[in-house]
Amino acid sequence: MTPDLPQLPSDLRDDPFYYLRHFQYVLAWVSSRHGDLLAAPERDFIAQFDGLPEPAQALLVRMVSRKGELFRTSRLDYVEVGDLGLALEELAAAELIAADPVVSHVELMTQLRLAEARRVLVPRLPDHQLPASVSKTRLAQALADAQDKSADAQDKSADAQDRSADALDRSADASDRSADETPSLLGPQRWSQWWPDSNDGLWRLTVMEVCDRLRLMFFGNLRQSWSDFVMAELGHMRYEQVALDPASRGFQQRQEVDTYLQLHHLRERLEQGEDVASVWADVPELPDDNAWLRSRRARLLLRLGQQAQRAGHDALALEAYALAGPGEARVKRLRLLERLGHDQQAMELAEQALESPQDEAEHQALERLVPRLRRRLGLPRQERAALADITLWQLSLPSRALNDSGCVERAVRDHLSEDGAPVFYVENHLIAGLFGLLCWDVIFTPLPGAFFHPFHRGPADLYRADFVRRRRERFDACLSALDDQAHVSQIRRRWEQKRGIANPFVHWEVLDATLLDVALECIDAADLRVFFTRMLEDVKANRAGWPDLIQFFPAAAEGEPRYRLIEIKAPGDRLQDNQKRWLEHFHRHGIAVSVCHVRWHDE
């Protein structure tokens, strides 16, 4: 890390305000590296926060780090804060939190325990027939029904009020008196109105939006949270230290931050069940020069198309899929066109896609879809390439083996493993781990836009289309170690040096010393090149789909396979598409692989 960047204290385990130091570090980091992207709301917040007493700062960070924006006083119990009432008053005076906020009945339900919800809300329901033991789910439904009825009544009232201004005034006066005298469930109101005799207070955090923006600018995503600091502090997560160029950062313009947040909020609206048409209307256009944000927009459009299709909005779904681009979205568009009977249009699009599929997954889906379309259109049948002749075998195990092991893969592992021929349950972790160790330095090369804070598990562009292209020469040089067996010592050295440090390819719990030793002894360098080369063709897709088990034969005679890969299928389980692609690849390159179908029997 360069000296001009903010530094996090090396050991905060004895500091009761460790989380506050983390937060202060983020504010200093963002101010230093993203100062030109900050607007008045962020600058004002940072200034207000800096002017607060330390206990108030600590309490605010505690609230920011928790879920949601509403907090009951009784649930803010932090010894290091000291005088909780004083800290709350100071935060409220700075307008960073709001006392006794207006909340809807939906928000209120999240703050009440079941017994409290029954006591506070059930009596307010008109003509309620709810039992004393009503559940929260049933109570929430009753409240929603009451709200719907109220909305209908308000619509009728509005129609009547439009006929007379005097009537409108009288109705408004009456409405005000009613709100003062009789709390209503039909609209939001203050906590103290919902529950007048409560001894507890409620507070609303008013700066979560600003804090989320600052967190985004630091991490470059909203997936990582403030707890990443804590995990690192406690030693549960260690990160590779990458030299950071002050010019390298996740966002170069404020508009990019705005767009990221807009796309994130649109995704949240979809997940919360909002009508797809209203979300669709707010999807932004993006410039062609920002591939990162365009890929995020494409994922949103794919999800929006799926939601639209489920809701029966086929035209909207087709348009969303078309704008989402090639790959999964194009396949879904083709399937929808096929379902709607637009076979000719689907055939033309499919033929175009076959000329330049985005990846193997799309090509595989097109090879299944095109013959159906040709058949429906009365076109001549085309011969398809025969599937690889993969070895299939049956294994019958006693039912108790499943109970003892906890899963079918471990049961088969335990059954097959023997002295001189150990079996390991590795799934997607062994080969990816060997790749991650061999290519460690390439993965953590500090290219622009790849690393911009000290808490990266891997490069930010790992799954972008140009990830390998930007590092092609480095990867080629790294894989050249396979030519003269230098990879063995390099992988061992990396395992010793980096053990426990986060790497997107290395699963340390699986790749222990025993597995590493036998794998390096038995897997030929030529096979590793076959594996690694295909992984680099599509890093995201080809990390998965590996067989569950690997059996090693260290003492095998010359010319015999020294290991075999075994995919396990429980009764009723079928091969997934990515598994089929890997099996085909293994077969083409002479890799020993088989599929084991397990059956259970009683003893």
Instruction: Evaluate whether residue 122 is within a structural domain.
Output: no
What would the mean pLDDT of 258-287 be, rounded to a whole number? 94
What's the pLDDT at 178? 40
Provide the residue count of the chain: 603
- Three-class secondary structure of residue 524 per DSSP: coil
What's the pLDDT at 11? 63
What is the token pair recorded at 165? 């201004």
107-134 tens-digit pLDDT? 999 999 999 988 888 887 877 678 888 8
Residue 172 has pLDDT above 70, yes or no: no
What's the pLDDT at 85? 96
What's the pLDDT at 1? 41
- Three-class secondary structure of residue 248 per DSSP: coil
Pair 368, 435 in one domain? no
What's the pLDDT at 2? 44
User: For residue 545, is it left (φ>0), alpha (ψ between -120 and 50) or beta?
Assistant: left
Instruction: Evaluate whether residue 109 is within a structural domain.
Output: no
495-534 tens-digit pLDDT? 999 999 999 999 999 999 999 999 999 999 999 999 999 9
Cα gap 346→334, rounded to integer Å? 5
Pair 421, 450 in one domain? yes
For residue 304, give the CATH number of its domain.
1.25.40
% of the chain surpassing 90 pLDDT: 66
What would the mean pLDDT of 457-481 be, rounded to a whole number? 94
Strand 563-569 relative to strand 593-601: parallel, antiparallel, unpaired?
parallel
Domain boundary among 325, 352, 376: 376
pLDDT category of residue 59 using cuts at 50, 70 and 90 = very high
Buried b (16+ CB within 10 A) or exposed e, 206-242: bbeebbebbbbbbbbeeebebebbbebbeeebebbeb
Cβ proximity of 58 and 82 under 8 Å: no
Instruction: Evaluate whether residue 238 is within a structural domain.
Output: no
pLDDT category of residue 192 using cuts at 50, 70 and 90 = very high
Phi, psi (deg, nearest 5) at residue 164: -155, 120
Query: Max CA-CA distance within the chain?
Result: 101
Domain boundary among 350, 376, 402: 376
Cα gap 309→331, rounded to integer Å? 14
Pair 62, 23 in one domain? yes
Pair 442, 540 in one domain? yes
Burial class (CB in 10 A: 0-12, 13-18, 19+), 295: middle
| Greater pLDDT, 54 or 251 | 54
Instruction: Evaluate whether residue 2 is within a structural domain.
Output: no
What's the pLDDT at 603? 64
Question: Count of domains in the chain?
Answer: 3
380-425 tens-digit pLDDT? 887 665 556 788 999 999 988 887 778 999 999 999 999 999 999 9
pLDDT category of residue 287 using cuts at 50, 70 and 90 = confident
Q: Which amino acid is at 293?
A: L
Q: Rounded to whole angstroms, what are the CA distances from 486 to 473, 479, 493?
A: 18, 10, 11
What's the pLDDT at 3? 42
What's the pLDDT at 234? 53
Burial class (CB in 10 A: 0-12, 13-18, 19+), 49: buried
Domain ranges, residue 84: 18-100+205-233
Instruction: Evaluate whether residue 141 is within a structural domain.
Output: no
Closest CA to 54 of 29, 15, 1, 17: 17
What's the pLDDT at 247? 67
Cα gap 420→236, rounded to integer Å? 35
What's the pLDDT at 151? 54
What's the pLDDT at 123? 81
Cβ proximity of 421 and 415 under 8 Å: no
- Three-class secondary structure of residue 99 per DSSP: strand
Instruction: Evaluate whether residue 173 is within a structural domain.
Output: no
pLDDT category of residue 227 using cuts at 50, 70 and 90 = confident
Cα gap 242→97, rounded to integer Å? 37
Pair 490, 591 in one domain? yes
312-346 tens-digit pLDDT? 999 999 999 999 999 999 999 999 999 999 999 99
Pair 333, 399 in one domain? no
Cα gap 247→321, rounded to integer Å? 36
The position carrying tokens 């002749």 is 389
Tell me which range, 177-186, 284-293, 523-532, is most confidently predicted by mean pLDDT. Answer: 523-532
Closest CA to 257 of 214, 208, 225: 214
Instruction: Evaluate whether residue 159 is within a structural domain.
Output: no
Cα gap 498→512, rounded to integer Å? 13
Domain boundary among 321, 344, 376: 376
What's the pLDDT at 338? 95
| Greater pLDDT, 4 or 96 | 96
Beta-bridged to residue 550, according to DSSP, are 424, 565
Pair 325, 457 in one domain? no
Q: Rounded to whole angstroms, what are the CA distances from 186 to 178, 339, 459?
A: 12, 44, 50
Pair 417, 509 in one domain? yes
| Greater pLDDT, 148 or 572 | 572
Cα gap 50→42, rounded to integer Å? 12
What is the token pair recorded at 271? 């997940």
What's the pLDDT at 171? 46
Instruction: Evaluate whether residue 191 is within a structural domain.
Output: no
Pair 421, 533 in one domain? yes
Pair 218, 262 in one domain? no
pLDDT category of residue 170 using cuts at 50, 70 and 90 = very low
% of the chain surpassing 70 pLDDT: 89
Closest CA to 100 of 78, 71, 75: 71
Cα gap 180→187, rounded to integer Å? 13
| Strands of the 391-398 sheet, one edge to the other | 391-398, 593-601, 563-569, 549-552, 423-425
- Show Cβ contacts of residue 450 under 8 Å, excluding neighbours closer than 6 positions: 248, 459, 460, 461
Pair 347, 422 in one domain? no
What's the pLDDT at 437? 98
What is the token pair recorded at 67? 């879920």
- Show Cβ contacts of residue 296 under 8 Å, excluding neighbours closer than 6 positions: 260, 263
Pair 568, 497 in one domain? yes
Residue 182 has pLDDT above 60, yes or no: no
